[in-house]
Amino acid sequence: MRLPSPLLPVGALALALAMAAPAQADDHWPAPVQALTDQGLSIHAEFEAPGGLTGYAASYPSGEVAIYLTPDGEHAIVGTLVDAEGRDLSKAALDEHVRAAQNAELWETLEESHWILDGDPDAERVLYTFTDANCPYCRQFWEEARPWVEAGEVQLRHIMVGILASNSPAKAATLLAADDPAAALHAHSGGGEEVEPTAQSREIEEQVYANNQLFEELGLMATPTTFYRDGDSLERLQGVPSRERMIEAMGGEAP
């Protein structure tokens, strides 16, 4: 069984999935900045910074960072710039120039995965959730989401994976290949009809394999793991969320 855990930020996940291409990859940056690119940093954009500094939004395989070039152009400072009140002046630039592109890329990757629609396809709020047919927490999440789904306010897109048991991949494939995958998932998750795994085409098996690979590439550890948009940010829920987290993910109180 996979235990639930609290809400986690997704910036590092987007980076782990794929680094966004540098904004001006062919540019020759000032020597101190160029030295940092030689050490593995990717520069996404240049921006104006206080105090005569020039800022650069950068990323590396496990995070993002701001670089500040001194006015003489001879030195670079890597880290967070704060003002007299201790406010982080680097976050906005990194959000705009690094995280926004990575979040958009991650969301597109989720859209292109192999999932089963649960709810109204026209529902404005979309949540992608990695689901294993043998996961009791997935069933609990499915059940607790019913008020929003059945009211047409939220659509869940179940990215079917097979990771918990030896027959999990076969169950995922059987659900994906059903004549009515949504009905099959509904019966399995809430109707007491345990899906019986059956042999499926190579195409369907490869869809499950691709979903499993995505799960691993994102560094995920538990099912369900759910992604949703909150304004300009992309958030992740791991496991069955608390009531407060559920309300946040669903966009409001239960109907």
Question: Domain ends where: 74, 103, 132?
Answer: 103
5 inside domain: no
Same domain, 243 and 121: yes
Per the structure, how many domains does the chain have? 2
Do 71 and 168 fall within a single domain?
no
Bridge-based pairing of strands 63-69 and 54-60 is antiparallel
Indicate whether 235 and 165 sit together in one domain: yes
Paired tokens of 46: 């240049």
What is the Cα–Cα distance from 178 to 197, expressed in whole angstroms? 11
| Same domain for 189 and 147 | yes
Tell me, what's the pLDDT at 26? 46
Distance between terminal CA atoms of the chain?
31
- Same domain, residue pair 179 and 64: no
255 located within any domain: no
Whether 11 is covered by a domain: the verdict is no
Please tell me whether residue 3 adopts helix, strand or coil conformation: coil
Does 12 map to a domain?
Answer: no
35/29 Cα distance (integer angstroms): 9
Mean pLDDT by 10 residues, the chain (255 residues): 35 41 60 93 92 93 89 95 94 87 91 98 97 96 97 98 97 97 95 89 98 95 95 89 96 95
- Six token digits for residue 79: 């880290």
**154 closest CA partner among 86, 228, 215:** 228
- Does 144 lie in the same domain as 217? yes
Residues 130 and 73 in one domain: no
pLDDT of res. 99:
82
Exposed/middle/buried for 41, CB within 10 Å: 0-12, 13-18, 19+?
A: buried
Contact 130, 168 (CB under 8 A): no
Is 244 a member of any domain?
yes
Of 57, 60, 70, nearest to 30 (Cα)? 70
Rounded Cα–Cα distance for residues 251 and 242 (Å): 14
The confidence score (pLDDT) of residue 27 equals: 59
Domain identity same for 96 and 146 = no
Report pLDDT for 7: 34
- Give the model's pLDDT for residue 3: 33
Residue ranges making up the domain that contains 148 = 113-250
> Please, are residues 41 and 58 in contact by the beta-carbon 8 Å criterion?
yes
Statement to judge: residues 156 and 184 lie in one domain: yes
Establish if 9 belongs to a structural domain: no
- The model's pTM: 0.74
Q: How far is CA 215 from CA 54, 159, 202, 209, in A?
A: 38, 9, 20, 10
Cis before 241 (ω within 30): no
* pLDDT at residue 132, rounded to an integer: 98
- Which residue, 103, 131, 162, sits at the end of a domain? 103
Identify the CATH number of the domain in which residue 39 sits. Answer: 3.10.450.70
The CATH number linked to 202 is: 3.40.30.10
User: CB neighbours of 166 closer than 8 A, spacing ≥ 6?
Assistant: none
- The SS3 call for residue 212 is helix
C-alpha to C-alpha distance for 67 and 61, rounded to whole angstroms: 16
SS3 45: strand
Which of 103, 126, 155 represents a domain boundary (last residue)?
103
